[in-house]
């Protein structure tokens, strides 16, 4: 991966449904985690679930984040379903 990329990782059900565990996207100024979610969801099919009824948890560099959190070159952006259980 080049120095101008963000690594996007998927975990649990997302990894299974999307049939990939990671991909790289080009970084650009002002890009947020929510922007990445929207761009990926626009591919349709199983990618729709990234903005569906069930929330997706976000982490940037292994720290919990919000959709408005900015991502930059070299960051690792992770998406995973919320943990449930009792």
Taking 60 as the threshold, does the pLDDT of residue 2 lie above it? no
Taking 60 as the threshold, does the pLDDT of residue 78 lie above it? yes
pLDDT tens profile 28-60? 999 999 999 999 999 999 999 898 777 899 999
- Which H or E run includes 67? none
- Which H or E run includes 57? strand 57-60
Number of Cα atoms under 13 Å in the Cβ half of residue 52: 10
Kindly state the percentage of the chain with pLDDT values over 90. 80
**What does the domain layout of the chain look like in residue ranges?**
26-69
Query: What is the pLDDT at residue 82?
Result: 84
Kindly state the percentage of the chain with pLDDT values over 70. 94
């Amino acid at each position: 991966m080049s120095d101008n990329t963000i690594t996007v990782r998927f975990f649990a059900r997302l990894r299974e449904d999307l049939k990939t565990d990671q991909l790289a996207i080009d970084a650009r100024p002002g890009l947020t985690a929510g922007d990445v979610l929207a761009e990926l969801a626009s591919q349709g099919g199983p990618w729709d679930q990234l903005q569906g009824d069930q929330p997706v948890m976000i982490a940037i560099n292994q720290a919990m984040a919000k959709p408005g959190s900015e991502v930059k070159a070299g960051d690792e952006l992770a998406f995973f379903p919320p943990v449930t259980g009792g």
